[in-house]
C-alpha cells in the first residue's frame, strides 16, 4: 500500500482553528482521484472479511469516506452529528475535543441490538469524539468491532479512550 502517496496529499495548517493546533487538512487528498481511491481501499482492507452491519461516521469529515466504506462492505451508514442537527429522536453524549466541548447525537433507531459496528472518522486526536460515539453505539445495544481513521495523531494518545481490545485502524500516523 502506497501510504506515501496518501500522506503527500494531506496538508498541515498551523494555528487552525485555534493557535497551537496543527490542523490536518484532507481536502488535497479529496481533490486527487488516485489518493481518494488508495484511501478508500486502505480503509476497506481490515474489514473486508468481517461481517459489518453499520459504519458510524463522525461529523463532519467522517461523512466523506464513511458512506463509500459502508456501501463496499454492504453495511448501512449512520451519521453521528453535533447537537441539534438530526431531525428524529436522538440519544446524546457530551464530550471534550482537542479544541473545545461538544455534544454528539445519533438517531435512536440507527443501530439495532447486536449489530456489528465500525466507528469511522478522518482523524483520531484526543479520542473524545470516538469515545462519545462508542458510548452511543453501546447504549443502543450495538457491538463495536473496530475503529477506522485516515490519520492518527499518536502524541495525543486518543487510543487510550477507546474500547480495550478492539482493533484501531489508521493509514497515516503523525
Interface contacts to ligand AMP, rule CB under 6 A: 21-24, 58, 61, 97-98, 121-130, 158
Task: Tell me the closest approach of the beta carbon of residue 51 to ligand AMP, in angstroms.
Answer: 26
Of the candidates 59, 44, 7, which has an alpha carbon nearest to the alpha carbon of residue 28? 7
Nearer to ligand AMP, 118 or 130 (CB): 130
Nearer to ligand AMP, 36 or 126 (CB): 126
Task: Tell me the closest approach of the beta carbon of residue 95 to ligand AMP, in angstroms.
Answer: 7
Catalytic residue among 59, 61, 105, 115: 61
Say whether 164 is catalytic.
no
Nearer to ligand AMP, 22 or 51 (CB): 22
Say whether 61 is catalytic.
yes
Task: Tell me the closest approach of the beta carbon of residue 174 to ligand AMP, in angstroms.
Answer: 9
- Residue 95 grid coordinates: 464530550
CA distances from 17 to 7, 119, 122, 141, 157 (A): 21, 24, 16, 35, 21
Catalytically annotated residues: 61, 98
Amino acid at each position: 500500500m502506497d501510504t506515501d502517496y496518501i500522506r503527500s496529499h494531506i496538508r498541515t495548517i498551523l494555528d487552525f482553528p485555534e493557535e497551537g493546533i496543527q490542523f490536518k487538512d484532507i481536502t488535497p487528498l479529496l481533490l486527487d482521484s488516485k489518493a481518494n481511491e488508495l484511501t478508500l481501499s486502505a480503509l476497506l482492507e481490515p474489514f473486508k472479511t468481517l461481517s459489518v452491519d453499520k459504519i458510524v461516521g463522525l461529523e463532519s469529515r467522517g461523512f466523506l469516506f464513511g458512506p463509500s466504506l459502508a456501501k463496499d462492505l454492504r453495511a448501512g451508514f449512520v451519521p453521528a452529528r453535533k447537537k441539534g442537527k438530526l431531525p428524529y429522536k436522538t440519544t446524546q453524549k457530551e464530550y471534550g475535543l482537542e479544541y473545545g466541548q461538544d455534544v454528539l447525537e445519533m438517531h435512536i433507531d440507527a443501530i439495532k441490538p447486536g449489530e456489528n459496528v465500525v466507528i469511522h472518522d478522518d482523524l483520531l486526536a484526543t479520542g473524545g469524539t470516538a469515545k462519545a460515539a462508542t458510548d452511543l453505539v453501546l447504549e443502543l445495544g450495538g457491538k463495536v468491532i473496530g475503529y477506522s481513521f485516515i490519520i492518527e495523531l499518536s502524541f495525543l494518545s486518543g487510543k487510550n479512550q477507546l474500547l480495550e481490545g478492539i482493533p484501531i485502524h489508521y493509514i497515516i500516523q503523525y
